[in-house]
Chain A
Amino acid sequence: MLLKQGAEAKIYKSEYLGCPCIVKERFVKKYRHPELDSHLTKERIKAECRAIVRCKAAGIRTPTLYGVDLAKRCIYMEYIENAKTLKECISNAVNNTEHADGNKDFIGPILERIGVFIGRMHSSNIIHGDLTTSNILLVGDLRSEDLQIIFIDFGLSSADESAEDKGVDLYVLERAIISAHTLKENVFNVILKAYAKEYKKGSSEVLRKLDEVRSRGRKRLMVG
């Protein structure tokens, strides 16, 4: 059963040894040169599997990996029941409340925890590569401390120590939050604060890089 067609993969729900599972098929992209396509697909499947395993070791929740089939371009992994994306949760919260401030209180603590997890990811040198609000799942009561935060879609991930890549990772998230959701910019600072607290060793350098990456965008000439 097809659940979703993302930018580069079809997501099916299926069964793996009796367990409900997700099949993520990176189908052939006909617009891409065939050599480039098969190269990228293999690299991304491998990157995704590696990152899932590394996250597990670091104590970050991701779907459990069940199996991989490079020939079929598929990854089999845990199906997460009753999950909502962070994107849905934020836009629900923003749209459904007239007194926006009163009812958005619960988002702060969630973002704080997300900041902690990203800090943990980066201190283990895992670069997610596509940190958008669609790639963070929430399961459970949004106001409860038992709320599970699950990171998905590690196809663009890499293992890298550099502050540059970590800075870009944060930059991508910042932009995803600002562009898709009309929230105030300061919500991102909640994430950064928690991030810095968790990732004591490297965060100051990463945050400096983040500033640098931001300014690259701003200063670009508008010509041509």
Chain B
Amino acid sequence: MGRLITKCNDPTVLYVSGGNTQFIAYSQNRYRIFGETIDIAIGNCLDRFARVLKLSNDPSPGYNIEKMAEKGKKFLHLPYTVKGTDVSCSGILSNIEKQAPHLISSKQYAPEDLCYSLQEAIFAMLVENTERAMSHCGSQEVLIVGGVGCNLRLQEMMNIMSEERGAKLYATDERFCIDNGAMIAQAGIEMFQSGTTTPWDLVTCTQRYRTDEVEVTWRS
């Protein structure tokens, strides 16, 4: 889907949503997971922090954090947990959840500052490991997909990183990032056109499909 919209060829993919945080590269008929979160997803981390601040779910908690973060100025040091090619988000969330009520009530930090600091820390982890994946695979393209991919600060950071290494960033917006129906349909068309079909009585539904379980028949 991302490749269809952005016309990129063979990108390193950052897949960031409420359920997933994965660094992906395509190799030999699989999307291989180069690294991922070892606990909660980045979108989950942002959503749960939005709940701590009692932010609205309209249009989405992540979007409201993004808007708040734009007004943030004061930077709070949070844990930074990069584990090789993987990242971890649960400790950061626990840390900021614990500190937030006190920091806000004592007026040391505004809620905006905390949104800003949280975004800066976790996005830096994402960009760093995307770069590590690109360096490991020798890739010159990067594609951001998934709901958190709508976040403009994440796109901006990724773009700076890409420019520094002479690579190109591809990103889409909320029309595509969060439309799972369209993504499934697009994957279905690709599979059908490459000759993969499933008899109707064998069709099942699973939410637990991992990215690297699917054999990719539509790319060489």
Contacts and interface: CB of A to CB of B under 8 A. Distances in A.
Interface in B122-154: 124, 127-129, 131-132, 134-137, 146-147
Chain B at the A interface: mostly helix, strand, loop or mixed? Answer: mixed
Contact of A220 (B20, B80, B82, B86): B20
Interface residues of B, number: 51
Contact of A221 (B19, B28, B86, B156): B19
A33 B124 contact: yes
Interface residues of A, number: 41
A25 to B, nearest CB: 13
B207 A7 contact: no
B178 to A, nearest CB: 8
B128 A224 contact: no
Nearest to B131: A7
Contacts of A29: 124, 128, 161, 164
Given A36-B124, A175-B33, A221-B207, A168 B136 contact: no
A156 to B, nearest CB: 6
A19 interface: no
Contact of A217 (B17, B38, B164, B180): B38
Interface stretch (A97-105, A110-118, A176-184): A176-184
Contacts, number: 127
A33 to B, nearest CB: 4
Contact of B158 (A31, A132, A175, A216): A31
Contacts of A7: 128-129, 131-132, 134-135
22 contacts: A7-B129, A29-B128, A29-B161, A31-B161, A31-B164, A32-B127, A32-B157, A39-B77, A130-B84, A132-B84, A134-B136, A156-B82, A168-B84, A172-B83, A175-B34, A175-B86, A179-B34, A180-B27, A180-B137, A219-B208, A224-B19, A224-B41
Given A169-B84, A217-B36, 8 more contacts: A8-B131, A31-B158, A39-B77, A40-B80, A129-B84, A173-B84, A219-B208, A220-B19
